[in-house]
Amino acid sequence: MMTPDAHELKSLQKQIARLERQKHDLQKKVNWFEEQFRLLRHKQYGPSSERFEGQQAMFNEVEEALEADAEAQEETPDTEQITYQRKKPVRRPLSKDLPRQREVHDIPEEEKQCDCCGGELHVIGEDISEKLDIVPARATVIEHVRLKYGCRGCETGVKTAPVPASPIPKSIATPGLLAWITVSKYGDALPLYRQVSILKRMDVEISRATLANWMLRTAQLLEPLYEALKEQLLKQPAIMADETTVQVLKEEDREATATSYMWLYRNASHSQPVIIYEYQKGRGSEHPLTFLQDYRGYLQCDGYSAYKKLAKLQPGITLVGCMAHARRKFKEAYDSLPENKQLATSKPGQILTLIRKLYAIEQRVRDKPPTEKCLSRQNDARPVMDKMKAWLEKQAPKITPKSKLGEAIRYMQNQWVYLERYLDSGLVDIDNNASERAIKPFVMGRKGWLFSDTAAGARSSAILYSLVETAKQNGHEPYAWLRHVLAILPSMPKGSDVTGLLPMNIEPQSLRYSH
């Protein structure tokens, strides 16, 4: 029979065990709050770049740098002092495509005699220095004079020269004006109300409503080009996708505060880029399923569940993950550590170092053919990925799931089957960053104009953003290309083949500064 002392001791032991559990749980909460505090402080006061402090290049190898330092120490005697010479900044030469105005500076006539013998001086050469000047935009009125002819005999037969084809019939807008307004808004993020002010300074009074209507009409005219771009995109073996929010005030059966989405698709190839924006009311998988309904190939994207559902509904699509998204979560875990952290010894830093190796391999094969790129990934990158997978499996049971590191590990493990697929093909990238860069102009522009008034306006914006960004990515000065296209399209019969006008089918040099 248990004595009173033994019963009391057992009760105290249970109480101690319960308090230890409470202490452990509270410590986990404290650790979580401290982690969140450090991360928020870093986001508010730290650098916004995902690079590490003092890092020259994002994917420099830590081991290579240490080895290089060790070799340098072995080869350099202790008595020899290492000196470094800083490179002087070199001014970049001005483009040869820029128009040039020659201004000749001569010495006075009375000084054109030799100070030594008094003989007449003659030109033996010239020194040329270049200065850059900017001429502000200037509005010009083009008068279209249509000559009329009449018959002196019957005085009834009158003939008049035909009206030139115009992008917007019965409008004062020329191809140059429409191109300037379009590129200013969709290329340079300049809202229409600011353009109204700029035009007013040029003594041109045009209302914001008129400019908005012109953009709608311009998008309608350019829609065949947009559809031709979509056809080009769907023929590509690999496509990237991303999406971002947009607010539309006046849409049927929806409140003004409802959230809509602008989807983005682009080819994974960096030669002849094709960028397509598409407006949709929501973010469900039915939207990319409709856009990619007949597509067969790779689709590279982030970890959003709608893409996984899309891949299940359409077996012809092979989903590829984004290493940059996985890396970003480990970078957050690294930033949430105390300030005395070390990249090589911290757990998030160990994964970040392995990811650096993967990107270093990608840099080496960046310009290689797909077959050679795939071979390098199999030989060099796959062992790194295997090492990373083993690390995840070892650390996952030890890390608190709700911590930043736990979240990063869980995300990478859930995405692993998609993340490693880039190893099997040279047609895709290691990450989805190209699509994120392509959607950024829309995100930056949204900060200026905030929302679209109507759904028709949002669809017009999708068309114009697609064409302007595709032109830019193919090396065009977007104003020159757009002006060229808007001058030709109005005179083309309806249903004509417009593929010859696409940015990748026109040499940028043939249009540059043609205006």
Query: Mean pLDDT across the stretch 24-49?
Result: 68
How confident is residue 429, by pLDDT bands cut at 50, 70 and 90?
Answer: very high
* Tokens coding 193: 């109300």
What is the Cα–Cα distance from 408 to 395, expressed in whole angstroms?
11
* Cα–Cα distance for residue pair 196/37, rounded to 1 Å: 45
Q: What is the mean pLDDT of residues 17-31?
A: 77
Q: Quickly state the pLDDT bin for 62 (edges 50, 70, 90).
A: very low
Q: Is the pLDDT of residue 49 over 50?
A: yes
Question: Alpha helix locations (H) across 76-135?
Answer: none
**What would the DSSP string read from start to end of 212-244?**
HHHHHHHHHHHHHHHHHHHHHHHTSSEEEEEEE
What is the enclosing helix (H) or strand (E) of 331? helix 323-335
Q: Which two tokens stand for residue 67?
A: 């080895």
- At 323 the pLDDT is 96
Taking Cα atoms as reference points, which of 405, 365, 393, 392 lies closest to residue 381? 365
- Tokens encoding 442: 């829309």
Strand 259-267 and strand 238-250: the pairing is antiparallel
Q: Return the SS3 of 277.
A: strand
3-class DSSP assignment, residue 204 = coil
Helix (H, G, I), strand (E, B) or coil at 275: strand
- pLDDT surpassing 90 at residue 26: no
3-class secondary structure, 306:
helix
Intra-chain end-to-end CA distance of the chain, in Å: 105
Mean of pLDDT over the chain: 86
Q: Which tokens in the block code for residue 430?
A: 């290691």
State the pLDDT at residue 46. Answer: 63
pLDDT in tens, 342-379: 776 789 999 999 999 999 999 999 989 999 999 999 99
pLDDT in tens, 381-409: 999 999 999 999 999 998 888 888 999 99
**For the segment 178-205, what is each residue's pLDDT rounded down to a tens digit?**
999 999 999 999 999 999 999 999 999 9
Q: Which helix (H) or strand (E) holds 4?
A: helix 4-45
Helix 404-419 / helix 347-364 crossing angle, nearest 10 deg: 30
Q: Tell me the pLDDT tens digit for each residue of 267-312.
A: 998 889 999 999 999 999 999 999 999 899 999 999 899 999 999 9
What does the alpha-carbon distance between residue 502 and residue 228 come to, in Å, rounded to a whole number?
8
Q: What is the pTM of this model?
A: 0.81
Does the pLDDT at position 462 exceed 90?
yes
What residue type is assigned to position 133 of the chain? D
* Residue 466 near residue 275 (C-beta atoms within 8 A): yes
Report the percent of the chain where pLDDT is more than 70.
Answer: 87
- Split at pLDDT 50, 70, 90, the class of 7 is confident
pLDDT of 70 over the 50 cut: no
